[in-house]
Amino acid sequence: MIECPECGSEIDEEKEEAEFECPECHGLDYGEGFYRCEDCGTLFDLNEEYWHCIHCSDEFGFEGGCRCPECGEPLEDESHCFCCGWPNNQGWIGENYG
């Protein structure tokens, strides 16, 4: 059994399946995953520590580099997202392929 760090509820990690997709940005946790407390909704890892998504922004911006404001994917070019096409203007294509 592990305990929720927020409310102390006991979680049976063998019965509960760990989650791997962030409920906010849907980024994947490639580690051991995390659990959601059914009583208070807190997300925490197997070490009973608060779980924080490495893909979501914090007060200093995104961890791990610049991300697309539209879909959240890492940006190779800060002015255009190769995944979703942000900012979706044809000027970018004309400037680079014209």
CB 84 within 8 A of CB 70: yes
Regarding predicted confidence, which is higher, 76 or 20?
A: 20
Same domain, 58 and 98: no
Same domain, 84 and 39: no
Same domain, 58 and 70: no
CB 17 within 8 A of CB 43: no
**Residue 79 domain boundaries:** 65-98
Residues 6+ apart with CB under 8 A from 68: 74, 75, 81, 83, 84, 86
Give pLDDT tens digits for 83-93.
888 877 544 45
State residue 20's pLDDT score. 92
pTM of the model: 0.54
Give pLDDT tens digits for 23-78.
888 888 888 889 988 889 899 988 888 988 877 754 434 444 567 777 777 777 77
Residue 18 CA: distances (Å) to CA of 15, 38, 42, 45, 86: 9, 13, 13, 9, 33
Rounded to the nearest angstrom, the gap between the alpha carbon of residue 65 and the centroid of all alpha carbons in its chain is 13
Same domain, 59 and 69: no
SS3 55: coil
Same domain, 76 and 47: no
